[in-house]
Amino acid sequence: MEELPESHAWLSLDDSPSYGSLGQDQVPVINLNSPNVMKLVGYACKTWGVFQVTNHGVPVKLVEEMEGACRKLFTLPIQQKLQAARAPNGVSGYGVARISSFFPKLMWSEGFTIVGSPYEHARKLWPEGYSSFCDVIEEYKEEMNKLAQRLMSLILGSLGVTLDDVKWATLQGPSPALQLNSYPTCPDPDRAMGLAAHTDSTLLTILHQTNTSGLEAHKEGTGWVPIPPIRHALVVNVGDLLHILSNGLYTSVLHRAMVNRTQHRLSVAYLYGPPSNIQISPLPKLTDKVHPPLYRPVTWSEYLGAKAKHFNKALSSVRLCAPLTGFTNDHNGVQVG
Ligand SMILES: C=C1C[C@]23C[C@H]1CC[C@H]2[C@@]12CCC[C@@](C)(C(=O)O1)[C@H]2[C@@H]3C(=O)O
Ligand SMILES: O=C(O)CCC(=O)C(=O)O
Ligand SMILES: [Fe+2]
């Protein structure tokens, strides 16, 4: 394709995003073997809501295999991918981003969501070779789960809370989600949007990105800041449920993915939530008369429903005594509703 179709043009040529940071304000990179790692993680969650981790213990080979599986999936012919299309009201499968319906323009990306077992959809993609794909997915989920638990205990620790205060944190969560994203090369990347600005509904999200820039985080007072790929590092996002749990101390970060003219970019997000029947509410240790709980209790599945319905107003929809406002989307075109 030589020209960007109008259906995918988010920005006019003269309102390309301006970066608030001129390289000064950078998303923290944390070595998980640092002696003061808990403090570093807490500070990053408080000031940014996103950070990169190195020495995370996830085998490099497994991440590479996951990336390879992802590349193989997205290079399948479109007819094949459509065999595994997400059902109209379903969660798993191939398709456009779930949040697409909230925007008037189309995003320059395709995705494959895996909740629960990948087998059903994988069999449709690869009637013969599905089992090696599924093996990689299962192993990746297992490793990510270990890392997510470790990060959660650091995060809770940084809030002055122990795993004993949050019994569910040691339980096995519900099947987490894996979101594979593909951003093909784009003839007019300055006017297109790969994945529009959003926060994740999770407690936290762990993301692997290929060696192509595109991911950006929004920081209050600074603007959009690129999160450059670092070899062997993973990106960790604070999600809405952690924002609720920390009574707003740790902010779920607004982020988006831009596209590239010459490089096909891929990312793999592991979306980590609490067990599905557990009510998440601000930690009692963090609330008192001066700091009343800001959110009502909500379960993971209830919150996903709120997100599907209200999108950027989902957090305020569970907020106690506060106006219904969402983040504004000044930087990425018009938003519907
Ligand atoms: C477990 C989840 C979390 C979901 C919905 C469901 C499966 C796919 C996840 C994502 C992944 C891409 C961004 C997001 C905003 C989207 O559109 O789909 C995420 C959403 C959420 O964090 O709300
Ligand atoms: O592709 C990226 O870097 C971002 C993906 C993302 O935000 C998501 O899948 O939730
Ligand atoms: Fe995200």
pLDDT digits (tens, 9 = 90+) for 266-294: 999 999 999 888 899 999 999 999 999 99
Predicted local confidence at residue 333, as pLDDT:
41
Annotated catalytic residue 319: no
Q: Is the CB of 256 under 6 A from ligand 1?
A: no
Provide the 10 A C-beta neighbour count for residue 266. Answer: 22
Distances (CA, A) of 309 to 62, 95, 304: 36, 19, 9
237 Cα–ligand 1 center, Å = 13
Residue 112 near residue 137, CB atoms below 8 Å: no
Please list the pLDDT of the chain residue by residue as tens digits (337 residues): 778 998 999 876 445 555 555 667 899 999 999 999 999 999 999 999 999 999 999 999 999 999 999 999 999 999 999 999 999 888 999 999 999 999 999 999 999 999 999 999 999 999 888 999 999 999 999 999 999 999 999 999 999 998 778 877 766 666 789 999 999 999 999 999 999 999 999 999 999 999 999 999 999 888 999 999 999 999 999 999 999 999 999 999 999 999 999 999 999 999 999 988 889 999 999 999 999 999 999 999 999 999 999 999 999 999 996 555 566 554 444 443 3
- CA dist list (Å): 121 to 73, 76, 112: 11, 14, 10
pLDDT digits (tens, 9 = 90+) for 158-207: 999 987 788 777 666 667 899 999 999 999 999 999 999 999 999 999 99
* CA–CA distance, 294 with 287 (Å, rounded to integer): 9
Q: Where are the domains of the chain?
A: 28-316
The pLDDT value recorded for residue 173 is 62
Q: Which of 261, 265, 296, 319 is catalytic?
A: 265
Res 322: pLDDT: 57
Contact status, residue 171 vs residue 273, Cβ threshold 8 Å: no
Q: Please spell the DSSP secondary structure of 102-141, one letter per residue.
A: G-SS--S-EEEEEES-SHHHHHHH-TTTHHHHHHHHHHHH
Cα 40 to averaged position of ligand 2 atoms, centre (Å): 23
The CA distance from 133 to 140, in Å, is: 11
Query: pLDDT tens digit string along 326-335?
Result: 665 544 444 4
Q: What is the pLDDT of residue 280?
A: 93
Q: Rounded CA gap, 54 and 235, in Å?
A: 9
Task: Report how far apart, in Å, the C-alpha atoms of 335 and of each of 9, 100, 157, 328 are.
Answer: 13, 10, 38, 9
Mutate-to-test residue for ligand 2 from 207, 218, 271, highest number of ligand atoms within 8 A of CB: 207
In the structure, ligand 3 is a single-atom ion and the residues with CB under 5 Å from it are 200
- What is the pTM assigned to this prediction? 0.93
Count other Cβ atoms within 10 Å, centred on residue 8.
18
DSSP string, 285-319: GG--SSS---B--EEHHHHHHHHHHHGGGHHHHTB
**Fold assignment, 28-316:** Jelly Rolls (2.60.120)
Ligand 3 mean position to 115 CA, how many Å? 15
For ligand 2, residues with CB inside 6 Å are: 179, 181, 195, 200, 207, 209, 215, 255, 257, 267, 269
Cα atoms in the 13 Å half-sphere on the side-chain side of 146:
9
